[in-house]
Amino acid sequence: MGRIVRLHRLGGPEELRLETAEPDGLRAGEVLIRVQAIGLNNSEAQLRRGDYPMLKASLPTRIGRECTGIVEAAGEGVAMPRPGARVSTIPAFDVQRHGVYGEWCIVPAVATVPVPAGLPVIEAAAIWQQYLTAFGPLVEHGRVAAGETVLVTAGASSVGLGAIQMARLLGARVIATTRSPGKRETLLRAGAEQVVVTGEEDLAGRIGEITAGRGFDLALDPVAGPNLAALAEAAATEARIFLYGQLSADPAPFPLIPVLRKGLTLRGYTLWEITLNAARRERAIRFILEHVEAGRLRPVIDRVFRLDEIVEAHRYLESGRQAGKIVVRTDGWSE
C-alpha cells in the first residue's frame, strides 16, 4: 500500500490526484519498485493537459516514466534486477499501467538500469530521458564529429543541458538558445560557447555572425513553429535538423527554398526510436553509463519537491523558470 498520482481528467496541475492504492499483481517480466525520486518532463505536462501529440491518455491513468528506487519484487521470468537492487527506469513503457509518479510503481524489467555506485538518488532520477533524447540525434543518427557546430534550442531545459554536455563530449562547438536573458550564464557554464536570446536577437543573423556565415551543422529543436524558417536560414549546407517536439502552438511552415538550396535534412525524432529498439537501447545505455560513471555527463538539478507537492511541481514545470531538471522525492528518499 502506498500513495500514487493518478489523472482522472485532463486539465491543469490541480488534476493530479494523490491516492492510496495497493500494487497490482506482478505480470511476467515486471518488477515492483519502491520509488525514491521521480524526474519530471514536459511531455508529462502535455499529457496531463491533453495536448501531447504522441499519446492520448485513456482515463483514469497513471503518469510519469522516469524514477529511481529499490526493487521490492520481481515477476515470473525476471533474472535481473533482483529484489534489493537500486535501479532507474528508462522511458520504454506505457504509463497507463506503468506510470512512476508515486511511492511505488510496476515497470517492465527491461526498462530498468542499475544506478551507478555513488550516484545520488536525485541525480539518478534525472538521467535517462534527457540523455537518451540527446543520444539519438547526436550519436546514433546524427553522428556528430569533432569540430562540427551544434545548435541546441530551448537550451536551458533538461534535454537541452544534457545535449550541450553530450555535444561537447563529442568535440562539437555548441550554440544554445533561450528566451530568458537570465539563463545565459547557466548555458555558458553548461558548455555552450555562444548563447542566442531569442526575442531579443535575430536567430539566423546571430548564428551567421558566430559562424562567420557558415551556419550550424546539426540542430536539436523541440520548439518547431514559425522558428523552423529561421533554423533553415541559419543552417550550413547539408546540415541536419532534428525536430523532437512541438512546444510552439503555432504552425511550422515548411521552409522549402532553403531546404532545396542547401540540401538540408529535416528529421522528426522521438526517443522511442532508441528505447524501443533493443540494439539501439543497449548502445545508448552503454554510452551514457560510461560517461555518467566517469563524471563527463552530470544532470543539472534545478529544484526538488516532495511528493505531496506534485501540483506545485507541475506548476513550476509549466512556468518556464527552471534551468535543468525538476525532481520529486518521496518519503522513501535516502542517499
Task: Specify the pLDDT at position 24.
Answer: 86
> What would you report as the CA-atom Rg of the chain, rounded to the nearest whole angstrom?
20
User: Running DSSP on this structure, what letter comes out for residue 193?
Assistant: S
**Residue 332 pLDDT greater than 90, yes or no:** no
The span from the first CA to the last CA of the chain, in angstroms, equals: 23
Q: Is 170 helix (H, G, I), strand (E, B) or coil?
A: coil
AA identity, residue 157: S
Task: Specify the pLDDT at position 199.
Answer: 83
- The per-residue pLDDT for range 215-253, each reduced to its tens digit, is 999 999 999 999 999 999 999 999 999 999 888 889 999
Distance from chain centroid for Cα 121: 17
Residues 28-46, mean pLDDT to the nearest whole number: 96
- The per-residue pLDDT for range 58-112, each reduced to its tens digit, is 899 999 999 999 999 999 999 999 999 999 999 999 898 899 999 999 999 999 9
- The per-residue pLDDT for range 128-165, each reduced to its tens digit, is 999 999 999 999 999 999 999 999 999 999 999 999 99
Max CA pair span of the chain: 61
CA dihedral of 213, 232, 190, 307, whole degrees rounded to 10 = 170
Residues 120-130, mean pLDDT to the nearest whole number: 97
Name the band, by pLDDT with cuts 50, 70 and 90, for residue 203: very high
The alpha helices in the chain, defined as continuous H runs, are 42-49, 95-98, 121-124, 128-135, 158-169, 184-190, 203-210, 227-234, 256-262, 272-275, 278-293, 310-319
Instruction: Cis check for the bond before 116: say yes or no (omega within 30 of 0).
Output: no
Task: Specify the pLDDT at position 333.
Answer: 56
CB-neighbour burial class of residue 28 (10 A; exposed 0-12, middle 13-18, buried 19+): exposed
Residues of the chain with pLDDT > 90, as a percent, come to 90
Q: What is the DSSP string of 226-270?
A: THHHHHHHHEEEEEEEEE------S-----HHHHHHHT-EEEE--
Name the band, by pLDDT with cuts 50, 70 and 90, for residue 52: confident
Domains and CATH numbers, the chain: 2-127+299-329 (3.90.180.10), 130-272 (3.40.50.720)
- The per-residue pLDDT for range 241-251, each reduced to its tens digit, is 999 988 888 99
Name the band, by pLDDT with cuts 50, 70 and 90, for residue 212: very high
Which residues lie below 8 Å from residue 158, measured CB to CB, with a gap of 6+?
39, 41, 126, 129, 130, 299, 300, 324, 325, 326
CB-neighbour burial class of residue 309 (10 A; exposed 0-12, middle 13-18, buried 19+): middle
Task: Specify the pLDDT at position 334.
Answer: 56
Task: Specify the pLDDT at position 3.
Answer: 97
Q: Is 276 helix (H, G, I), strand (E, B) or coil?
A: coil
Residue tagged 521552409 (cell numbers)? 255
Task: Specify the pLDDT at position 85.
Answer: 97
Residues of the chain with pLDDT > 70, as a percent, come to 99
- pTM, entire model: 0.94
- The per-residue pLDDT for range 275-298, each reduced to its tens digit, is 999 999 999 999 999 999 999 999
